[in-house]
Amino acid sequence: MSADPTDLHDDSPEEAAFRAEARAWLEANAPKKGGPDDFANTAMDTLDYVARAKEWQGKLAAAGWACITWPTEYGGRGGTPSQSAIFAEEQARTGASTGTFTVGIGMAGPTIIAHGTDEQKQRWLPPLLRGEEVYCQLFSEPGAGSDLAGLSCRAVRDGDEWIVNGQKVWTSGAVHSDLGILVARTDVEQPKHRGITYFIVDMHQPGMDIRPLRQMTGGAHFNEVFLTDVRIPHENVLGEVNGGWMVAMTTLSNERSAIGGGGTAMGFDRLLDLARQRGVTTDAVMRQGLAEAFTRFEILKFIGMRVRSAARAGKTPGGEANTMKLAYAQHLKKLGDLAMAIEGAGGMLMRDDAPDGGAWQQQFLSAPSIRIAGGSDEVQRNIIGERVLGLPPEPRPDKGVPFRDLLSNNV
């Protein structure tokens, strides 16, 4: 993880100094990539991984490197989005990971900062920053597909509490989460984008039935969650009652930026090493595939620079987040396809029997999930077309219709 003179960054002098400081601290404190303590060690079970992630997050918090953009009163550094991106880039060089806190720190935290009361911020932000509480996202539903506004999970007011009934699906990490960010329908008389409320819910309470979903990777990262008479205190409503759609949009915007800008441990250097090990670097078709992969890695890097430049200028990135998320999802699919072609017959093997310990097989099999998470590819294209390029919107016959009258939903 030593300094590489070929590194390409558009850092200002201040950012270059921050990068040097971050790199030096990480070199002294983070596990080495590829070493015995690398978080990517496939022999580590989920509970061990979560425990180590909590320990690492606490270490970051104690040293002032956690949640760099958060205000100092909540334990953050009060830094810039550019500094946060720089630290993420440098941490990606190490064997450490904060993936367990992607939902909490990357999505719930910014949403609480933007929409929470002072009391809510004091309650939820410091424990999250210190790695004491893990969050999951209770958004997707079996009947809503990519149309989040079509959700039918119901929350009914009962004095100072809300009673929630419904089902969520594709909930990452629900089995080891302490809290969940939940959107539920609270008024069926309003059109579907209204009448939705955003809650913070305790995942350990009665009525929470979490069922892991076995994926084709062999893991069970996703879960379906059944909520039966789950009670949520009214003080856990984030934002306004029936105003949860705008709160959820804050979460989704941060989710897309996190997915698109998260990068992958399977970088181009590792792909090139695989091609050399398999002896295909002289094959014309494989060389073309490698050249295209390198180009995609560079394009993603430069889109990330655009996001950082906008943040440095105090601007909120526009369509860059959607473009990056879409490009990243497409890139991962092509990357997995190329890796399997390079491995040839070895691509049919798994784990220790496979080249590179089966890491590329995991990449290949998990790539489709990224094309759905955070809004499917089709949703991203619609947003880019309508909001960025100004193309005519798709017909919306359900616009302005009370949710109760939408026959496709059984409420």
The CATH number that domain 136-243 falls under is 2.40.110.10
> Which of 1.20.58.190, 1.10.540.10, 1.10.10.60, 3.10.310.30 would CATH assign to domain 13-97?
1.10.540.10
DSSP 151-189: ---EEEEETTEEEEEEEE---TTGGG-SEEEEEEE--TT
Angle at 256 between CA 250 and CA 261, to 5 degrees: 125
Tokens of 78: 């009060």
Alpha carbons 356 and 308: distance in angstroms, whole number: 33
Between 400 and 344, whose confidence is greater? Answer: 344
**Between 400 and 109, the higher pLDDT residue:** 109
- Measured N-to-C along each axis, helices 320-343 and 359-370 cross at an angle, to the nearest 10 degrees, of 150
**Which phi-psi region, left, alpha or beta, contains residue 34 (left: φ > 0; alpha: ψ -120 to 50)?**
left
Place of tokens 């003080």: 235
Domain ranges of the chain: 13-97, 136-243, 263-375
Q: Is the pLDDT of residue 344 over 80?
A: yes
pLDDT value at residue 1: 38
Q: CA 305, CA 313: separation in Å to the nearest integer?
A: 12
Helix (H, G, I), strand (E, B) or coil at 219: coil
Residue 149 DSSP one-character state: G
Token pair listed for 324:
């990056």
User: Is residue 261 predicted with pLDDT exceeding 60?
Assistant: no
Residue for token digits 């939903």? 409
Distance CA 152, CA 142 (A): 10
> Quick one: 263-375 is in which CATH superfamily?
Butyryl-CoA Dehydrogenase, subunit A, domain 3 (1.20.140.10)
Using CA atoms, how far apart are residues 216 and 210, in angstroms rounded to an integer? 19
Nearest to 222 by CA among 173, 166, 168: 173
Position 300 pLDDT exceeds 70: yes
Spatial neighbors of 361 by CB under 8 A, at least 6 apart, are 340, 347, 349, 350, 354
pLDDT-based confidence at residue 140 (cuts at 50, 70, 90): very high
Q: Residue 236 pLDDT more than 50?
A: yes
Distance CA 402, CA 190 (A): 5
Reading the block at residue 65, the tokens are 């490197």
pLDDT band for position 48 (cuts 50, 70, 90): confident
Of residues 116 and 400, more confidence is placed in 116
158-206 confidence digits (pLDDT tens): 999 999 999 999 899 999 999 999 999 999 999 999 999 999 999 999 9
Per-residue confidence (pLDDT) for residue 264, from 0 to 100: 54
- In 3D space, the residue among 131, 126, 133, 137 whose CA is nearest the CA of residue 53 turns out to be 131
* Percentages (nearest 5) of helix, strand, coil residues in the chain: 50, 15, 35
Is 255 tagged catalytic? yes
Q: Which two tokens stand for residue 135?
A: 């969050």
Token duo for residue 384: 């880019």
Q: In this model, does residue 34 exceed pLDDT 80?
A: no
6-11 — which CB contacts under 8 Å span 24+ positions? 8/301, 9/86, 9/89, 9/305, 10/305, 10/308, 10/309, 11/86
**pLDDT value for 211:** 95
Residue 358's pLDDT is 87
Instruction: Return the SS3 of 43.
Output: coil
Dihedral sign for Cα 228, 229, 234, 239, please.
positive
Amino acid at 295: T
What is the Cα–Cα distance from 389 to 373, expressed in whole angstroms? 23
Least confident range of 39-43, 246-250, 282-286: 39-43
Assign 3-class secondary structure to 343-406. Answer: HHHHHHCCHHHCHHHHHHHHHHHHHHHHCCCCCCHHHHHHHHHHHHCCCCCCCCCCCCCEHHHC
Query: Which pTM value belongs to this model?
Result: 0.84
Ordered alpha helix ranges (H), 203-243: none
User: How many angstroms separate the Cα of 185 from the Cα of each of 176, 190, 237, 253?
Assistant: 26, 10, 13, 21
Of 15, 89, 133, 255, which one is the catalytic site residue? 255
d(Cα 211, Cα 226) in Å, to the nearest integer? 8
CA distance 254 to 269: 28
